[in-house]
Amino acid sequence: MKESIKKYLVLSFCLFISFALAIILFFLLYKIDYIKSAIGHIIRAMMPFIIGIVLAYILTPLCNLLERTFDRLFKKIKNPSARSRIISSLSVFLSIIIAIILVYIILMVIIPHLISSIVRLINILPASANRLIDFLDHTLTSHPEIRENMQEIIDEGYKALQNWLNNEFIKQAQVFASGLSTSIMGFFTALFNIFVGVIVAIYILFGRKKMAKQAKLVCYSIFKEDTADKIIDEVEYTDEVFKGFINGKLLDAIIISIICYIGMMIFRWFSPGANLMSEILVAVIVGIFNIIPFFGWYIGLFLSALLILIVNPVQCIYFVIFDFILQQIDGNIIGPKILGNTTGISSFWVLFAIFLFGDIWGFAGMLIGVPLFAVIYHLITNAVFAGLDKRGQREMEYEYRDEYPDKDTIKQAKIDEKEARRQERAMKKQAKELEKEITETFKRNDKNKDNKSEK
């Protein structure tokens, strides 16, 4: 009797939970616009802290490197507390200064060349427009039937333009003015957020070790030891994936920019006196968009080729060929050497992550979507393998890992292979030493026998 009552109570509780979740889901879908608005408002309010957290995360490896360097330099300071404060302060502020200097150098390199390129384009456009007008005039004069068709198209276009000026121009001008004022306010808001974000990053860098320790204490205070260990392992894996991907992509972009600049300078050396696009601007565009996986190279190639085409078509052809060769070198040599298999996901999932998170978060989603999806993929894989273990299907896991080894398995296999080779070399060395020792022993015995026979 008690078991049947218990069964009905459990069933009633499950039905209640299901009904409550259905109501919550309906409410979320019904109020999705308000929820999006509230989330957007929270994100805008927290933007300085988000910028600060991202900046601190990027600067943490540099800060740790400087701390180790200063720790070796200030060994003579006897007071551990004073030495720790000095090292921490110097490493944090020097990291921030280095980051600011790098951003300043990049801006001072890009902005003047960008302005000069725009001015050059403006100066070239009238001559290009005159050449286009002469070409059209010659073509229309030589072909009357084309001229008649073009005249009809021009008349229709003139009517459409007149109608747009009479009806839509004022509305569009108001929208443009409103958008311009919003953009100006957004620019100053972004500057303010960046300024506050730098301050937040300084505080985070100073307290990063304490915060990490506090988070670990909270984790072990809430969960059991085994669960807490798994959470810490996943956090460390996430940190490894993001750091490896971001740092590798930044280094790869710098190397590609330098090679692209050298390649464009070679064309300038062989084309003295020609009107050419700025090599620094092209190299920076290629390097920046190379950070985006998969599509970044195409975007950088298209934008750079379009700018170069307006200035010098021959340079554009050279750039397209050179950039294609550079992409093959980057994809097959430079990229694998720097990045390796940091994400552990296939090209299909890379493409999927770029489309998914790029649509959700735009340009930022295209940057962080691949490592984020790699972490999600890792969690799902671990959950699937844990389910197989619970149901006694561990053989399926082993078969899958043998057929499709992940990056950790490959890494461990390489480590095991190196260890096996090291042990093999050690065993060969020991065998040679033993053989040498036995040979020397036999020689000594033979010598002793000869001495005894002589006596």
Query: Does residue 262 fall inside a structural domain?
Result: yes
What was the pLDDT predicted at 440?
Answer: 73
Q: pTM to 2 decimals?
A: 0.70
Q: Summarize pLDDT for 181-216 with one digit per residue, the tens.
A: 777 887 888 889 989 999 999 999 998 889 989 999
Query: Does residue 118 fall inside a structural domain?
Result: no
Query: Does residue 289 fall inside a structural domain?
Result: yes
Query: Does residue 433 fall inside a structural domain?
Result: no
For the chain, list residues with pLDDT below 70.
1-8, 125, 128-129, 132, 136, 140, 143, 145-149, 151, 154-155, 158, 161, 164-180, 339-342, 406-420, 442-455
Query: Does residue 64 fall inside a structural domain?
Result: no
Q: Summarize pLDDT for 54-79 with one digit per residue, the tens.
A: 899 988 988 988 888 888 888 777 77
**373 with 356: CB under 8 angstroms?**
yes
Query: Does residue 249 fall inside a structural domain?
Result: yes
What was the pLDDT predicted at 97?
Answer: 92
Query: Does residue 435 fall inside a structural domain?
Result: no
**94 with 282: CB under 8 angstroms?**
no
Domain with 277, as residue range(s), is 239-342
- In the chain, the number of structural domains is 1
* DSSP letters spanning 34-70: HHHHHHHHHHHHHHHHHHHHHHHHHHHHHHHHHHHHH
Query: Does residue 364 fall inside a structural domain?
Result: no
Query: In whole angstroms, what is the distance from residue 92 CA to residue 97 CA?
Result: 9
